Amino acid sequence: MVNFLNLTAEKSFAKFFDAYCAVGPAQDDGCAYGWCPNSDLAGPLIRIAAYLITSLVTVILYYEPDALVESFWSQLLTVYAFLITSIISISKSNLTRIHAVMATGLVGSPLSIYIFIYAIRSMWGGGDRMNGVFGRGQILNRTLVLLAFGIWLSLIIYILVPNTIHFSQRSCETEYNPLIFKGFFFLPLVILKFILADTDPESRALVRFIVFLVTLPIILTILGWMFAIFRKQREIWPVGQPFRPRVYTVWSTVVIHYPFIQFMSVVFIPTGYWVAMIEFGAIVSDDSQFLTNFGQASFCNFVSWNKKS
């Protein structure tokens, strides 16, 4: 009993920290122990489930658009789950700024941006690929997506407003570079810059090699675009016609003849960047523990149900 109650002992710090965060730290707690993790919003199982849903729906969108309707609702429910949870937590001052930023990052996946764009285009009759959800008469679908887009943008603006009083652990915000919050969507590039600048000379070569491996898909995709345009230049720019950029013609010609380049450009690379962005944010917020709480278990049950359906 004594050891159980002695939460400040070195061996029991984990228990103390869990109890401290369970109570809910104050808005200005001095940041003595760092950020409290938020497993219901940014836990590993939550992030993995979000990655799975986004990846599966993206593949369906590009290769089986006729089966998009059910998957569309899965993605939309995921988006609203993060948005509503964030708003309720902020209203109760139970959400840190870093976790609010991560929530907007999880919502702002390449797939969500793609759906937002198509919802806007469908207002003027564009977007044939998503006619199943944004076609004629699909007013509810379009309205829900545009509403989610508006809430998402409003939440980002609210997060970026300095001295916002509804976030918990505000004192922890001064412990980190402001770019962590203001430039979260560029976080992989920011961290990459810091790594290359602060790496000691002995390990710099290894770091540069790792960076090269990470950026290799981007390099190969760029080379693929150059090769495809060179091979199809007569089709893009017929002989005898004046030269013009023909951006749409270049895009449509390349993706028809080389669909793998389209997959790399609009699916693999953006999704990989998005995952890296969220994971770097999880490192900053210390959300690395696999806690089987109700929020994570419920979200993963939803993913497994969606895959079966």
pLDDT band, residue 258 (cuts 50/70/90): very high
Query: Is the C-alpha dihedral spanning 150, 153, 159, 161 positive or negative?
Result: negative
Measured CA to CA, the distance from residue 141 to residue 146 in angstroms comes to 9
At residue 178, the pLDDT reads 63
Quick check: 266 pLDDT over 90? no
Quick check: 289 pLDDT over 90? no
Quick check: 10 pLDDT over 80? no
Burial class (CB in 10 A: 0-12, 13-18, 19+), 245: exposed
At residue 261, the pLDDT reads 92
- For residue 68, the tally of other CB atoms under 10 A from its CB is 19
Measured CA to CA, the distance from residue 98 to residue 103 in angstroms comes to 9
At residue 231, the pLDDT reads 92
| Mean pLDDT, the chain, whole residue set | 78
Q: What is the pLDDT of residues 59-102, one digit of tens each?
A: 887 777 777 777 788 888 889 989 998 999 888 888 888 888 88
Measured CA to CA, the distance from residue 128 to residue 77 in angstroms comes to 23
At residue 174, the pLDDT reads 75
Please check whether residue 271 is in contact with residue 110, taking contact to mean a CB–CB distance below 8 angstroms. yes
Please check whether residue 114 is in contact with residue 61, taking contact to mean a CB–CB distance below 8 angstroms. yes
At residue 37, the pLDDT reads 82
The H or E element spanning position 259 is helix 259-263
DSSP 243: P
- Determine if the pTM surpasses 0.75: yes
Q: What are phi and psi of 95, to 5 degrees?
A: -130, 130
Angle, CA of 54, 143 and 105, to the nearest 5°: 35
* Neighbour-count burial for 249-266, b at 16+ CB within 10 Å, e otherwise: ebeebbbeebeebebbbe
